[in-house]
Amino acid sequence: KQRGIIAGVEVARIVFELLDVDVVESIADGSAVSAGQAVMAVEGKAKDILMAERTALNILARMSGIATVTREMLEKARKVNPSIRIAATRKTTPGFRLFEKLAVAIAGGDTHRYCLGDAVLIKNNHIAVAGSVSKAIRLAKSVSFTKKVEVEVRSVDEAIEAAKEGVDIIMFDNMKPDEIVIAIKKLEELGLREKITLEASGGIKPDNVEEYAATGVDVLSSGYIIHSAKPLDMSLYLVT
């Protein structure tokens, strides 16, 4: 019923097949669709189709809504910064994270961390406990060499402090675009920019994504693409 990016076709296929319903035709995940376009065609007993209907539609609608917003923001951001990535966060629906992150990936986005063990991300509460950005980073570096270390910063000074400690990724957390530009310029002047991945996060939405992309960061992470994505309006019609 709406234009958008389709995601969840293969997951919905599993739902139907578990109930002995055959998927005879489908479009590929990641496809752009217009209003009124068919996504799948299935065959089976009416009772089995109806039993699978709501679960399959909920998955398709939710994942497609996320994919649509992700693709929209990615295309906007790359108009001003062709190499930038749009990443998800862990602000996901309990029990449904795998599918929500999959929808982001299908649309061309980056899944970021799936769980806490994927990388070390030092946040403001960790810094408060450790006593400073530098102390928190030194503690974090005691983990295996296989884990990247990322730190959230909220000022230009914190960004420089983190860079001097040799972190892999700096996340500008809830900093305004003009503040991020100043921070990047300072890092460049000190010869600290080249080896660090720079990420901006906090309140990034479709209406300001281009402004953040233009700052020169490498990654924009946004909770919006999952927690604020509206499900795509979809229906199943039975033909007898």
Q: Is 18 helix (H, G, I), strand (E, B) or coil?
A: helix
Contacts with 156 (C-beta within 8 Å, 6 or more apart), sequence order: 179, 182, 183, 186
Q: Alpha-carbon distance 36 to 186, whole Å?
A: 51
Tokens of residue 119, six digits = 């990388």
Per-residue model confidence (pLDDT) at position 132: 92
Q: Is 102 helix (H, G, I), strand (E, B) or coil?
A: helix
Which parts of the chain are beta strand (E)?
Answer: 4-5, 22-26, 32-33, 40-43, 85-87, 120-122, 149-153, 169-173, 197-201, 219-221
In this predicted structure, the answer to whether residue 82 has a pLDDT above a threshold of 90 is yes
Per-residue model confidence (pLDDT) at position 102: 98
Q: Alpha-carbon distance 104 to 87, whole Å?
A: 8
pTM given for the model: 0.93
Q: Over range 31-57, report the average pLDDT.
A: 97
Q: Over range 27-53, report the average pLDDT.
A: 97
Catalytic residue list contains 186: no
Per-residue model confidence (pLDDT) at position 117: 86
Q: Of residues 76, 91, 148, 164, which has the active-site annotation? A: 91
Per-residue model confidence (pLDDT) at position 32: 97
Per-residue model confidence (pLDDT) at position 46: 96
Q: What is the pLDDT of residues 170-213, one digit of tens each?
A: 999 999 999 999 999 999 999 999 999 999 999 999 999 999 99
Residue % of the chain over a pLDDT of 70: 100
In this predicted structure, the answer to whether residue 22 has a pLDDT above a threshold of 90 is yes
Residue 187's nearest CA partner among 212, 159, 151, 219 is 159
The torsion angle over the Cα atoms of residues 100, 12, 107 and 171, rounded to 10 degrees, is 10
Contacts with 67 (C-beta within 8 Å, 6 or more apart), sequence order: 4, 5, 6, 7, 30, 103, 104, 106, 107
Per-residue model confidence (pLDDT) at position 143: 82
With contact defined as beta carbons under 8 Å apart, do 7 and 27 qualify? no
Dihedral sign, CA of 105, 173, 226, 211?
negative
* AA letter at 143: V
Per-residue model confidence (pLDDT) at position 116: 86
Q: What is the mean pLDDT of the chain?
A: 96
Phi (first) and psi of residue 111, to 5 degrees: -75, -15
Per-residue model confidence (pLDDT) at position 191: 96
Going from the N-terminus, what domains does the chain have, and what CATH number goes with each? 4-70 (3.90.1170.20), 73-227 (3.20.20.70)
* AA letter at 107: A
Containing 50, the helix (H) or strand (E) segment is: helix 46-80
Residue 7's nearest CA partner among 41, 35, 24, 32 is 32
Q: What is the pLDDT of residues 106-148, one digit of tens each?
A: 999 999 999 888 889 999 999 999 999 999 999 988 887 888 9
